[in-house]
Structure 1
Amino acid sequence: MAVKQPEWCSALKDISLSNPDDNDDNNLMRTWRGKHSGVGVPAFGWKISLSHKFKDRPNSWSLPPLSQVPSLVGLGVRYLLYYKKLRSKSKRPCMDFFNQTPLHQIYGVPLGGIGGGTINRGWKGDFCKWQLKPGVYTFDSPLADQFIVTIRSNDRTVFQQVLSTRFPSGEPLKAWNWRYCGSYAYYHGLYPRAWTVYDLQGQDVVLTCRQISPVFPHDYQDTSIPAAVFVWTVENKRKDDIDVTITMSMENGIGCQREQKVTTSLWNEFFSVNNHGENVSGVVMHNTTYDNMFYTMTIGATQKEGTKVSHCVEFNPLHSGTEIWHPLMERGQLSSLSKRSHVTGKGERIASAVAVSCHVKAKSTNSIDFCLAWDMPQIHFGNSNKFYKRRYTRWFGDQGKAGPALAAYSLYHYPTWEEKIHDWQSPILENSDLPGWYKSAIFNELYYITDGGTVWLEGESSDVTMLSRNAYNGVPESKHNLNGNSMHLNNGIDKTKEDEIRNCKHIMEYGRFAYLEGQEYKMYNTYDVHFYASIALAHLWPNLEISLQYDIAASILHSNPEPMQYLMDGVAAPVKTPNCVPHDVGCPDDEPWLNVNAYFVHDTAEWRDLNPKFVLQAFRDYHITKNKEFLETVWPICKIVMNHGMRHDQDGDGLIENSGAADQTFDGWCVQGPSAYCGGLWLAALKFMAEAASILGHDHEESEYNRILQMATKSYNKHLWNGKYYNYDSSPHLHLSNSVMADQCAGQWFLSAAEIDDVLPKENVRSALETIFSLNVQKYDNGRHGAVNGMRPNGVVDTSSVQSVEVWTGVTYALAATMIHRGLLKEGFRTASGIYRSAWQRYGMSYQTPEAFRMNKTYRSLAYMRPLSIWGMQYALEMPKKDKEN
C-alpha cells in the first residue's frame, strides 16, 4: 500500500528540482558487474560498488593567502606554546592541529544507538572506526573482523570465501580465502540501515547483508541500545538445494584497547540464553584493562528452526586461522568444543567466531541473524575517577554483564525497529517530487547523532555536583538607557538555581545528552554550532534537546574565575564569566558540565551571537514541544543573557554592535559595528522575548522588548540595508563591509521555524536570499559546492579572512532551509545539493561530512556537528503549507 504523501508535497509540484549532476551516484556504481540486485534494497540512498576508487582526494586545509598571514602569526606562536605546555603534561588540546584526522574514503553507516558508543563498518566491509570511550576514536581495521560464507552441496563444500576485498600478506590468517572481487558487490547506505549485496559468481547465489541499528524518532529507550543486527538473506538461484553458513569473527581488545597497545587480561566465553522461546547463543569477549572501564563485546545469533549455531571461543588472529577455516571447509560449522578461553598475557592477541548454518532450497531464500552488542555501562572523562552510567543501563543494568541480554533483546525486537524506521522514512522516500540526492542526504547526514562522540547518560542527581561553588549568587537589576528611558528587568536568581536546573525532573527522566562539535574539535555541545544542528534533535528527539537546553541554562549561571590566556589576542580573562552563554560544556579529556568552556581561542564571554542564540533555541524548542514548564524555567535565564547582551549596544539604539574582532561563530572573520549576522540574531531574539513574555503573562516585559525591538529594527535597516541585501557589517572600509554574507538571514530562519511573523520587511529578506543564491551559490563553482560564506557584490569571493573564503556545510543546509521557509524551494534544493555532491559523490567523505570546503579541493574538520542542520529543510517542508510564502 502506498504511503500517503504529506500535505507539503503539493508545494513541490511543477518545480523542477533536478540538477545536471543528480546522476553522480551512478558513477559510484559503474564497476558493479553483478547480475542480481539483492533483496529489499531501497531505491534511494548512498550506493557504491566495492571496487570503486575515487578520482578526487581533497586535502586538509591549505596555506592562507599572504595577505592573511600577519593576522595569524600571533595566534600561531601562542598555539605552539600552549601545545608544548599541554604535551609536557601528557595532554592534547581539544583542537589538535598537529594531529588532524586524515581522510579515509572508506566509512559506512555507523553501528549502534545513541550515546552508547559506535563502531563503523565501512562500505568495503571492514570494521574500521571505534568510539567506545566518549570522544576517543580508534581508526583501525583488524584483519580478523570479517564475515565468511561457506556453501555446501551434497555434503561437500563447493565455495568458501572471506567477504572482503582485502588481500593481506604474511602469516596472519593466510589460510583464509581473501580477495573477493569488489566488482560483484555493492554497498547501499541509508542511515540507520545499510545493505551490502554480494553476487557470488559461478554459484548462482546472492547474499544481502542488512545492517540495522535502533535509531528512530521520539524513542527514549531502545534508541539508546549499543547494538546492531546483521540480517543475511541468502538467495539460492540454483536448481539444487544448498547449505549455507555465515561466520562472523572478531578480535577482542579492539577499539579502545588497540590505542593503548596493551592486550593483557582479555578472555572470551560462550553464552546461551532463552529468548521468547528461541535460543540465542554466541561469544562474549571480556576486556578489563581499558582505563578502568570494563567492557564486553558480544556476538550473538538466533538458532531458529532450520538453523544451527556453532562457535569458536578463541583463535590467534596473528596465526594462519586454520582453526576457523578448516572446520568450516570440512563440516560447514565451527568446532564448539570449548566454552571459555584462557586469559591473555602480555602481547597476546585473541579473537572469536560465531557461525550460523541454514538449508536453502532451490529457487528460494532463507535468512540468518547476528547481533553485535557492546557493553561499557559506566564511563568517566579524562583522568577523573568519577563514573557516569549510560542511558541504556536503566533497563539492562550497570555491572557489565548485559551483553547476552542486549543481543537477545536486539534479535527479538529488530523487526519492530525496522517497522518504525520504515514508517519514519517512507513519506520522504516515496515522495516522487523530492530529488534522489536529498533522500540520501537527509537520512545519511543524521549519522552524526550517534557517531559524534555522543554520550547519553542517566540523569542521577549526584552526577553533576559542582566542583566549584563559584556560581554567581544573584544578578542585580539591569538598567539600559534607551533614548533617555531606563529599562528595568529584575533578574534576581537564587544561588541554588544552577543545581536545581541541572537536577530537574526532565533530566532525571530523559537523561543528560552531549555530542562533540566535531571528531577533531573535541568540545561537547558547542553552542554556537549546536544552534544549526539543534533542529535535528528538536525535530526528532525533542526531549533530548530540552535536556541539553537545561544544562546550558545551568551553565549560564556558572562561573569559573580562573584566568585563561586566550590565543587569538593573548589577553587573559576568566574561563567562564557568569550570566553569559558558554561556548561549550567541556571536553572529553576533562569533566564536561563541571568544567565548561574548553575552547581556548577567544574569550567567548564577549561574543555577540551566543546570548541571543540561547533565546532563539529556547523559544523554538518551546514552539516544537509546547513544554510550558521549560519556557517558565528558562525565562529568567533568557532575561539574564539578553541584559548581558544589551551592554554591547553602545549608542542606545536597541541594536548591539560588534567589536571589530572575530566575536561570533565565524571566529576567524572580523566584524565591526552593527552587522547583518549578529544584528539579525539580536532582532529575532528580541521578538522571541516579547512573544515569550506574552505567553507567560509578563505584560511589562512584553512591552519593553517590543519597544526595544522597534528601535533596533529601524537601526538595523538604516545601517545595513543597501536595496538588495544586508551588508556584512558597518565597517568604514566599504570593500569589506558590503560583502554578501551567506548566513545573514540566520535570525529569520528561527523566526520562520517558530511560525513568528518576521521583524524585517518580507521583500527585503526575499531579495537578500535571492542575492545570496545568485552570488554566493551560483557564482561559486556554478553551485557545485554550496554557498561560500562571503562574496563581493561583483561576484568575486571575499578573501579578507580565512573563513570568508570557505563554504560551511551546515550553514549551507541552514540557508537552504531558510529559502524553503520563504518559498524559494528550487533555490533551496539547488543550494544544498552542492554539499552532497561534493562530500559524498566526488570526494568520498561518506559519514564524515566536514565543517568547511574550499573550491581548491581542501576541507577543514572532518565529521562535524553543523551539517545536521539539513533537518531544518525537512522541518520547513513539513510545516503547514499555509505558512509558506508564495
Structure 2
Amino acid sequence: LRYFLYKGNRTKEISFPIGGIGTGCIGLAGNGRLLEWEIFNRPNKRGVNGFSHFAIKAECEGKVLDARILNSDLPPPYMGDFNKPMFQSFGFGPPREYMAGLPHFRDSEFEGTYPIAKIRFIDDKFPGRVRMTAFNPFIPLNDLDSSIPAAFFEIEVENTGKHEITYTICLVVQNPHPAGTTVNAYEEKDGFHLIKMSSSTNLKEDDPQFGDLTIATNASDISYQEYWFRGLWFDSLHVYWKDFTSPGKFRNRRYPNPQRGIRDHAVLAAHVKVKPGETGRVRFVISWNFPNCYNYWKPEHSGCCGDAEKPKIWKNYYAKLFKDSVETAIYCLKNWDRLYRETETFRDSLFSSTLPPFIIDAVSANISILKSPTVLRLEDGSLYGFEGCHPHSGCCEGSCMHVWNYAYAPLFLFPKLDRSMWDLHYKYDQREDGRISFRLQPPLGRGRWEFPHAAVDGQFGSVIRAYAYWKFTGDDTWLKLNWQSIKKSIEYAWAETNEDKWDLNKDGVLEGRQHHTLDMELFGPNSWLTGFYLAALKAGAEMAEYLGFHEEAEEYRGLFEKGREWVDKHLFNGEYYIQLINLKDKSILEEFKSEDPQILDTYWDEEHKEIKYQIAEGCLIDQVLAQWHANICGLGEIFDREKVRKALKSIYRYNFKRSMRDVVNPCRIFSLNDEAGTLICSWPEGKTKPVIPIPYAEETMNGFEYAVASHMIQEGLISEGLEIAKAVRDRYDGEKRNPWNEIECGSNYSRSMSSYVLLLALSGFKFDMTRSWMEFNPKITVNGKFRCFWSTGTGWGIFEIQSDKIILEIRYGILKIKRLSLPFLKGREIREVRVENKIVRYARLGDELEFEDMLTAERGQKLNIILN
C-alpha cells in the first residue's frame, strides 16, 4: 500500500469525499481538516463549516500534558483567501477557520485507499500515537447502506508513555443553519450520546432550507458543550481553547435562545483512559438530513405577472430511509461493525490485486464520484447525475447521455441503480418518433429539454447500455418491458421526422448533422458516430432475435453489415479512420438552413471559406470507441479487428504526448509542462487540419484517455494502454491535483468512471448472464500468478490464479453460473473442481467448463479448480 501513502507536499490538494451515494459528502483534507461541506444538496468546493474540527488532549494525574488540533501543518500559500469577505480575505492570512493558529501536529501521513482513508498524525511533543480512520460504507450491490448521509470517523491513540493517560478526543461542529437561528440540543439515545443541530425558525417540512445535523459518539465517558461561548472578535475560540486545555471535562454551556449574528458551535468529547502500551479507540459520526431538493440550476418558468412560482420540491431518497439525522446517527453506530467490515472487504478485494497500483488507483479513486455532489438520488431512489460540479452548483445537468455512457463503474457495482438512470431517459425524454432529449429535466414530469438535436452517441449509446445491462444481469423481464423504447431509439436514425437526416437512405452510415459529446455537430460520415449506430444496430438485432422479432433482427443485421463494410472501405486511410467531408463545401450546411437559419453563422468560417468544428483527416481519440463498448458487453466486432488495432496504434503514435511543453493548446488545460497526456485529436504531418477544428481538440480529458487506454489493452496493446492510464494518475498526485477529484467540465467528473474498464480489460472479464456464462483471461500476471476483484449483478469477490489452482471466491452475495471460460489454461489438465468440499461435475469443451448443474456459491465459499 506504499503507493497510496501521501506525505509532505503530496497531501496539499487532497479532499477525500466521505458521504453516501446521492447524499453529498464532507471532504477530509490531507492534513486532517474537514473541508468541502457538500451536504446541502449542492457543491461547496473549498467551503468550510465554521471552526469544525477534531482535537485531542492528554492528561495524567490531573495535569494536562499536551493538547492539539487533529490537523498537521497547513500547506502554503499563506497570503489569504480571495473568496472571504473584507478584512478576512487576501492580505489577511489564512482563514482562522482552518485552525492553523492553534497547536496542531507537525506532520501527518495520509493513506488513501478509497473508500477508506487513514491519517497518522506525527509530533514528538504529543504523548501518544494518533491515527484517524474515515469512511462511508461502500458495498457493491448494497445501494441502501452505500447511501447513508453520514461521515464515519474512528480515532485511535496508543499510549507510548510509562503511565496511564486520559485522552480527550473532541469533535467540534458548527450548526450550519443561518446566523441567529441555531439551536443545539444534547440527548442520550439507545446508549449513544448525540447533539442535534437544528433551526429555531418554523420552516415548513418541504422548505429547501429545512433540515438538521447530528454529531454522535459511541463513547461511554463523555462531556459536551451544546454551545461555544458567544462573544465578539476572537472571544469564542479563546474561550473554547481555555475550556479544552483545562484539566478535566467540559462543562456544558446552554443559551435559552439563538442570538442575532451568531452561528453556534457544539462540542462532543470522549474521554478514554489508556494504559502504557495499549490503544484506546473512539467512534464519531457526523450525520445530516437536508431532505428537500429543487431545481436551483434551472428554475421553472415564472408565473403570471412575473411572479416566480414556488419551486417544486422532491425529497432526497435518503430522507425516505431516515426521518432525521439522529435516526441516521443511531443506525450508523449500531451497525458500524458490519458496515465497516463489508466496506473493508470490498476495499481489500480491490486493493489486494496483482494489477499495477496505478490501475487500482484509477479504478478506486473514480468510484468516489458516486459519493460526490455530482450525483443525486431522486425520491424513488433513481440515479441522477450532473456531468461534474461547479464550485457551488452542479455543472451540465441532466444525467447527460453522451457523457454517462462512458461511466461503466455504476453498472458493475450497482447495476439496478445504473439502470434507473437510463430508464428515466426512456420514460421522460423519448419522443414518439424515438428521439431522446439527452438531458433529463427534474423534477420528473417537468417536460423535455428543448434542445433541437439528439446526440448520436447518447441516442445509440442508450441502446448499447441497455444491451450491456441485459447481458450483465440476464434480466429478460426488463428487456421485454423496454424493447419498444430500444427499438424506437434505433429507428430514429431513418425516421422522417429526423431533421438531422442521419440515415434517411438506410445504408447503415450516418451522413447528416450529428451532435456529439464534444458539444457541436459533425457533418458527413465518420467512424466515431457511425460506429455507435453500427453497435446499436448489432445489439438491437441480437435483442430482437432473442425476443422473437425476427423481421427487425434481419433488418438491423443487414444495415449493420452494409454500414460496416462501407466504413472499413471508405473511412480507413491505412493508419486510422477519418471523417469524409469537403470543408470548402458550403452547401453541406445550406441543406439544413430551413431547420436552422443560424447554421451558417455557427459553422461557416467566411474568412477562410471553410466549415468549422470538424475532424476531416484528424486522428480522433474516440474514432473506434464503439468497439470499446462492444468489447465490454460481448457484442463482437463492429469494425475490422486489424484496422482497429492500427487505429489504436496511430492514436498512441500521434495523440499521446510524453510532455505537453511544446503542445499548442488554446483550450482548457488539464495537463501542462512536462506532464503526459493523450490529445482528443491530432493531425499528422501532411493531413488536412481545419483552421478551426473540433472543440477541445488539444485537451487531455481523463475519461476519454481511460477509454482508449483500456481499449488498447483489450486489443493486446498492453504497454501502450498502461502508459496512457499511468499518465493520467501521475497528474493527480496530491500535490498538483486532488487524487479523488478528476476534472473535465468541472470537478468529480462522471466520465472518469470509464476507468473501471481498465479492471475488466486487464482481467479479461467477460459475461453473458443470459447464458449464465463468465470468462476470465488475464492480460498480465506476476510470476504466473494473478488476483483481482470481480462482480456480477448478484455477487462479487476475488478471482485468483495460483500455480496449482484457480480460485473464484464469493465475498458478497451469491454466484450462479452454468459455464466458466478460462482461455489462459490452454489445455492444461484439471484434476478436480469443487465448491468448498463438494465435488462439482462438469464437462470441458475447449477453454470452457460446463457444469452439470447450475453452480451456486454463496458468500464465504470458494470455487476451486485444482490443476495437475
Do both share a fold (TM > 0.5)?
yes
Tell me what 2:710 maps to. 817
Tell me, what secondary structure is at the counterpart of 1:636? helix
Residue 126 in structure 1 maps to residue 126 in structure 2: no
Verify: 1:552 aligned to 2:425, yes or no.
yes
Per-residue Cα deviation, 1:686-741 (whole angstroms, up to 9, x for no partner):
11011111221211111111111111111111221122221144445799522111
Residues 133-169 of structure 1, C-alpha deviations (whole Å, 9 max, x = no match)? 4335364224411111101122210101123335998
Distance 1:181 1:452, change over 3 A: same
Alignment of 1:756-835 (within 5 A): 756-778=635-657, 781=660, 784-794=675-685, 800-835=693-728
Distance in 2, matches of 1:874 and 1:458, equals: 32
Match for residue 293 of structure 2? 379
Task: Return the alpha-carbon distance in structure 1 between the equivalents of residues 275 and 476 of structure 2.
Answer: 60
The answer for the alignment partner of 2:484 in structure 1 is 636
Aligned to 1:483: none
1:210 and 2:133 are equivalent in the alignment = yes
- Normalized against structure 1, the TM-score is what? 0.72
Q: What is the CA-CA distance between 1:767 and the residue it aligns to?
A: 1.6
Instruction: Give the Å deviation of 1:345.
Output: 4.0
Correspondence for 2:196 among 265, 272, 284: 284
Q: 1:137 and 1:586, CA in 2 relative to 1: closer, same or farther beyond 3 A? A: farther
Secondary structure of the equivalent of 1:648?
Answer: coil
Letter in 2 for 1:367: R
SS at match of 2:575: coil
Q: Which amino acid aligns with 1:869?
A: S
Cα deviation digits, residues 35-80 of structure 1 (max 9, x gap):
xxxxxxx54536233xx279xxxxxxxxxxxxxxxxxxxxxxxxxx
Q: Give the deviation of 1:787 after TM superposition.
A: 1.7
Mapped partners of 1:746, 1:883: distance in 2:
22
Which residue in 2 is equivalent to 1:437? 358
Please state whether the residue corresponding to 2:111 is helix, strand or coil.
strand
How many angstroms apart in 2 are the aligned matches of 1:234 and 1:751?
51
* Match in the other structure for 1:706: 557
Is the 1:676–1:728 contact (alpha carbons within 8 Å) kept by the matching residues of 2? yes
1:514 aligns with 2:370: no
Q: In structure 1, what is the Cα distance between the partners aligned to 2:189 and 2:461? A: 50
**1:226 paired to 2:77:** no
What amino acid is aligned across from residue 564 of structure 2 in structure 1?
Answer: T
1:695-774 equivalence runs, <5 A: 695-731=546-582, 736-774=615-653
Q: Match for residue 16 of structure 1? A: none
Query: Displacement of 1:180 after TM fit?
Result: 4.8
Offset of residue 586 of structure 1: 2.6
Q: Indicate which of 446, 461, 468 corresponds to 1:594.
A: 446
- Residue of structure 2 in register with 1:59 after alignment: none
After superposition, what is the alpha-carbon deviation per residue over 1:86-116, rounded to whole angstroms, capped at 9, x for unaligned? xxxxxxxxxxxxxxxxxxx644211211112
2-structure distance, mates of 1:107, 1:171: 17
Partner of 2:271: 357
In the alignment, the residues of structure 2 paired with residue 163 and residue 791 of structure 1 have an alpha-carbon distance, to the nearest angstrom, of 49
1:303 Cα deviation from its structure 2 partner = 2.3
Distance in structure 1 (CA, Å) of the matches to 2:530 and 2:100: 63
Match of 2:790 in 1: none
Give the whole-Å Cα distance in 1 for the aligned partners of 2:644 and 2:269. Answer: 61
Superposition CA RMSD, Å? 3.1
Equivalent position of 2:838 in the other structure:
none
- Aligned with residue 529 of structure 1, among 403, 407, 423: 403
Asked if 1:152 is matched to 2:66, the reply is no
Cα distance, 1:612–1:175 mapped onto 2, change above 3 Å: closer
Hey, which bits of structure 1, 4+ residues long, moved more than 6 A? 167-177, 795-799, 883-886
Q: Which of 409, 412, 436 pairs up with 2:334?
A: 412
| Aligned position for 1:264 | 180
Is 2:435 the counterpart of 1:583? no
Are the aligned partners of 2:56 and 2:67 in contact in 1 as well (CA < 8 Å)?
yes
Contact 1:725 1:767 in 2 (8 A): yes
Distance 1:119 1:417, change over 3 A: same
Shift in alpha-carbon separation, 1:652–1:191, aligned structure 2, 3 A: same
Q: Which has the higher strand share?
A: 2
TM-score normalised by L of structure 2: 0.74
2-structure distance, mates of 1:785, 1:838: 8
Matched, 1:393 2:319: yes
Query: Equivalences for 1:472-483 in 2 at 5 Å?
Result: none
Match of 1:200 in 2: 123
* Residues 332-361 of structure 1 deviation map (CA, whole Å, 9 limit, x = unaligned): 4211364xx434243222111111110111
Output the amino acid matched with 2:750.
M
Query: Which residue type is aligned with residue 526 of structure 2?
Result: S
In structure 1, give the amino acid aligned to 2:57.
T
Please give the residue correspondences for 1:467-506 in structure 2 after superposition, counting only pairs within 5 Å: none
Does structure 1 conserve the Cα–Cα contact (< 8 Å) formed by 2:197 and 2:213? yes
CA distance in structure 2 between the aligned counterparts of 1:136 and 1:718, rounded to whole angstroms: 48
Mean Cα displacement is larger for which, 180-189 or 540-549? 180-189
Partner SS state of residue 470, structure 2: helix
Map of 2:762 onto structure 1: 877
The Cα of 1:742 is off from its aligned counterpart by 0.8
1:109 aligned to 2:68?
Answer: no
CA distance in 2, matches of 1:592, 1:182: 49
1:621 corresponds, among 465, 469, 473, to 469
Q: Which amino acid aligns with 1:286?
A: S
Deviation at 1:515, TM superposition (A): 1.6
Amino acid aligned to 2:198: H
Matched position secondary structure for 2:195: strand
| Structure-2 change in CA distance of 1:350 and 1:456 (3 Å) | same
Q: Deviations over 1:178-200 (max 9, x none)?
A: 35566521222222221121113
> What is the CA distance between 1:780 and its match in structure 2?
6.0
Q: 1:353 to 1:796 in 2, by over 3 A?
A: farther
Q: Secondary structure of the residue that 1:245 maps to in structure 2?
A: strand
Task: Give the deviation of 1:634 after TM superposition.
Answer: 2.0
Aligned residue identity for 2:24:
G
1:621-672 alpha-carbon deviations (Å, 9 max, x no partner): 111121112211221112212221224124442211243xx7211125x533
* Aligned equivalents of 1:173, 1:703: Cα separation in 2: 69
What does residue 66 of structure 1 align with? none
Code of the aligned partner of 1:336: N
The answer to which structure, 1 or 2, has the higher relative contact order (CA under 8 A, 6+ apart) is 1
Aligned twin of 1:84? none
Tell me which of 436, 439, 452 is aligned to 1:603: 452
Distance 1:692-1:736 versus aligned 2 partners, 3 A rule: closer
Uncovered stretches (5+) of structure 2, i.e. residues with no partner: 79-87, 300-309, 495-500, 585-609, 662-673, 766-774, 780-822, 825-868
Q: From the superposition, tell whether residues 790 and 582 of structure 1 become closer, same or farther in structure 2 (CA, over 3 Å).
A: same
Residues of 1 paired with 2:659 and 2:627: CA distance? 24
Establish whether residue 47 from structure 1 lines up as the match of residue 6 from structure 2.
Answer: yes
Q: Secondary structure at the match of 1:604?
A: coil
Q: Residue 609 of structure 1: SS of its match in structure 2?
A: helix
Separation in 2, partners of 1:320, 1:146: 14
Of Structure 1 and Structure 2, which has the larger fraction of its residues in helix? 1
Across the two proteins, how many residue pairs are aligned to each other? Answer: 685
Q: One-letter code of the match for 1:531?
A: N
Indicate how the Cα distance of structure 1 residues 717 and 177 shifts in structure 2: closer, same or farther if over 3 A, else same: closer
Secondary structure, in 3 states, of the residue corresponding to 1:840?
Answer: coil
CA separation in 2, counterparts of 1:694 and 1:765? Answer: 27
Q: Structure 1 residues 797 and 403, CA, compared in 2 at 3 Å: closer, same or farther?
A: farther
CA distance in 2, matches of 1:170, 1:776: 43
What residue is the counterpart of 2:460 in the other structure?
612
CA contact (8 A) 2:655 2:681 kept: yes
- Using the alignment, how far apart are the partners of 1:248 and 1:593 within structure 2? 43
| Aligned partners of 2:180 and 2:262 also within 8 Å | yes
Indicate which of 718, 726, 733 corresponds to 1:840.
733
Change (3 A) 1:143 1:403: closer
Q: Give deviations 1:203-231, integer Å, cap 9, x for gaps.
A: 34211111011222110221111011110
